[in-house]
Chain A
Amino acid sequence: MAVSSHELIAGFADPVQASQQVFRAALKVMSEPGTRVEVDYVEQAPKGLDLSTWQLALSLLDPDTRVWLSPTLASSDAVISNLRFHCQCPLVEFPKDADFAIALNTELPQLAELNWGSAEYPDRSTTLVVQVPALSAEPFWTLSGPGIEHTRSLRIAGLPDAFRAELIKSRQRFPLGIDTFWCCDNRLTALPRTTKIEPRTTAIEPLNTEQEAC
């Protein structure tokens, strides 16, 4: 798909400083998993992308990063045109080939479809960026591991049960694994492969319509 110039929007007003600030936000959430930060260096995002997803893309993607988009995003002229124009990142057809996979919560690839890296080079894995309807500190998941002093609570809304189970189970394959960013509007959090996830076992009132048990 070619770049449609009428779909293009402005990127960072100050690309050098804003990229640095967004990277520091990403570094903060990746090194302190489950903390939520807000990033506000753009006024708008291409239709279909959340503000935080768009800012992550502007900060981290370039011609060296292969990107996979989930079907709705991949068929959006606005998303593709802006990624091509601002990041010049090559888009790939299969998640396995991607350095970054950007997905809607309703169109998540199976974790097994992504690149997990190799035993010698676990860093060559795909980083998964997921757009979700809500992020909060409600104690649905209890997180522990590097970057967390004791435990931290996190609720990521709108994930299919099967995906939650897969994500929790994926910890067993460390050091192979998938590092994830979670985007919601201008908010951002991350769960690297080291974060252990303890799902809440007692029954709770679901916040949204979807069932939260996993």
Chain B
Amino acid sequence: MSTATGYNFAYLDEQSKRMIRRAILKGVAIPGYQVPFGGREMPLPHGWGTGGMQVTASVIGETDKLKVIDQGADDTTNAVSIRRFFAHTAGVETTEQTADATLIQTRHRIPERPLQADQILIYQVPIPEPLRFIEPRESETRKMHALSEYGAMQVKLYEDVARFGHIATSYDYPVMVNNRYMMDPSPIPKFDNPKMSMMPALQLFGAGFEKRIYAVPPFTQVESLDFDDHPFEVQSWDEACAICGSDHSFLDEVITDDNGSKMFVCSDTDYCRERVEQGFVGTAADLPIADLSIAEVETN
């Protein structure tokens, strides 16, 4: 049960939820199209995931199990606050395990473990309009979407090729949804873009500041933009995760001391934990990782 008193279940009032629910249904019916909605004030500032939270608040029910990640991690401030918020206002069960969660609210990552049918992935989106930095006027970008006039984005990617010899956009990489709408996948690394296509789970996107909701239904084609002679590529690393040895997940570079020593670790903490439990080890296995975590607890 919810422990917060004086609030409706999951914080938002019922009429706001209904309005958001109707926007979600339209978003699902028109994949990739940004549906305007009446964004509500949430008890934390814009930029901290208010869009994703409003979507989560409208979708979540008593039987849901919520996971919240921030850059792949379950234990960063944003993730912890939002998870506690819903544990407090909706009384739902929370989890850090991707496989157990029915709802996953995410900031800037898609979990490494493939999502299943009937899971819902809810993205926090800062700027929903992929064309915004090319065309600042909403009236114009509306028309560009209406006419499917996306040449300007190809030009932007081409400028990358002309300047750097390759497409240098590494996150927020524009995609075409169901061959019709250009969509901003929120600032996930382009490493995650291929996971969006034909995903068995439903993907919902909420932008609180810009008041837009959009969606990608399960098993929907999502294609990253590219050129015939410069095909879309994802990042790769020469290193493997120092903790679990994974050479196929998205890695964060972590500076470990003042001398510039560094290690690479999985950005998806749950995936890394799962691999360690399965017996995988990385190069840091002989490093005093356990001591590190104790030190962390003490400084907390």
Contact = CB atoms under 8 A, between A and B. Distances in A.
Given A17-B9, A27-B59, A122 B33 contact: yes
B142 A194 contact: no
A39 B104 CA distance: 24
Nearest to A119: B146
B153 interface: no
Interface string B199-225: 010100000000000011111110000
B29 A27 contact: no
Contacts, number: 114
B78 to A, nearest CB: 25
A127 interface: yes
B25 A30 contact: yes
Interface residues on A, range: 35 or more
A61 B21 CA distance: 11
Interface stretch (A103-111, A142-150, A160-168): A142-150
Contacts of B218: 31-32, 146-147, 149
A15 B13 CA distance: 12
A176 to B, nearest CB: 10
A125 B35 CA distance: 12
Interface string B147-166: 10000000000000000000
A172 to B, nearest CB: 13
Contacts of A149: 198, 200, 218-219
A19 B61 CA distance: 10
B137 interface: no
B14 A146 contact: no
Given A27-B28, A31-B202, A119 B147 contact: yes
B263 interface: no
B22 to A, nearest CB: 6
B38 to A, nearest CB: 9
B67 to A, nearest CB: 17
A65 B26 CA distance: 14
A85 interface: no
B21 A194 contact: no
A39 to B, nearest CB: 13
B287 interface: no
Q: Which of B61, B62, B142 has the most CB atoms of chain A within a 10 A radius of its CB?
A: B61
A120 to B, nearest CB: 4
Given A16-B14, A24-B61, A120-B142, A30 B8 contact: no
A35 to B, nearest CB: 10
Given A146-B178, A174-B180, A179-B26, A19 B217 contact: no
Q: Which of A26, A31, A61, A177 has the most CB atoms of chain B within a 10 A radius of its CB?
A: A31
Contact of A24 (B28, B59, B181): B59
B21 A17 contact: no
A62 interface: yes
Contacts of B19: 62, 64
B17 interface: yes
A24 B200 CA distance: 16
Interface string A1-42: 000000000000001110111011011101110000000000
B21 A147 contact: no
A188 B112 CA distance: 34
Nearest to A65: B22
B15 interface: yes
A194 B27 CA distance: 11
A81 interface: no
B129 to A, nearest CB: 13
27 contacts: A17-B62, A19-B14, A20-B17, A20-B60, A23-B21, A26-B25, A27-B21, A30-B25, A30-B29, A31-B28, A31-B202, A62-B15, A64-B15, A64-B18, A120-B143, A122-B30, A123-B23, A123-B33, A125-B26, A127-B25, A146-B31, A149-B198, A175-B30, A192-B30, A193-B29, A194-B31, A194-B217
Listed from nearest, the 6 A-B pairs whose CB atoms lie closest are A192-B29, A119-B146, A147-B217, A146-B220, A123-B26, A31-B217
Interface of A: 15-17, 19-21, 23-24, 26-28, 30-32, 59-62, 64-65, 99, 118-123, 125, 127, 145-149, 174-175, 177, 179, 192-194
Interface of B: 8-9, 14-15, 17-19, 21-31, 33, 35-36, 58-62, 118, 142-143, 145-147, 178, 180-181, 198, 200, 202, 215-221
